[in-house]
Amino acid sequence: MASDIADPDNTLGLTAYEAARGEPVPSPLPIERFIDYGLWVQRQVAPAFDPRPVARIDHHRGRFRLTLADGDAIHSFGPCYHHATRYRDITQARNQPGGAGRAK
């Protein structure tokens, strides 16, 4: 069973993706196609997305500083989203020093 990505304006659902591609979305939706749908949503919402990995996020006095893996830094007043690229076992990490934020 396929699922739409959250879209408050209802303009980025699977129906819109299907229309943009000009072909029907199969059901069940293969994972490769769902990933393509997610990338399509990203291109609609944030076409200038910077794919460089984030090495560190700091927050101080209402500002965020993202240090990228290549050493560049980006400053932001708004919220930031960091996609974790490593598996985190929160059931094991709960009982360890450092809590659920520890990556395996």
Dump pLDDT digits (tens) for 18-61.
Answer: 999 999 998 888 999 999 998 999 899 888 878 888 888 888 88
- The reported pLDDT for the residue numbered 36 is 92
Q: How many C-beta neighbours within 10 Å does residue 4 have? A: 14
Does 37 lie in the same domain as 12?
yes
Is the pLDDT higher at 84 or at 28? 28
pTM given for the model? 0.55
Count of domains observed in the chain: 2
Domain range enclosing 9: 1-49
Does 2 lie in the same domain as 23?
yes
Is the pLDDT higher at 90 or at 74? 74
DSSP 96: S
Does 66 lie in the same domain as 35?
no
DSSP 100: G
Q: Which two tokens stand for residue 59?
A: 């927050």
Q: Which two tokens stand for residue 93?
A: 């990490």
Does 18 lie in the same domain as 2?
yes
Amino acid making up residue 19: A
Contact by Cβ (8 Å): 45, 32? no
Please give the average per-residue pLDDT across 76-95, as a whole number: 51
Q: Which two tokens stand for residue 11?
A: 């303009």
Spatial CB neighbours of 33, under 8 Å, sequence gap ≥ 6: 25, 26
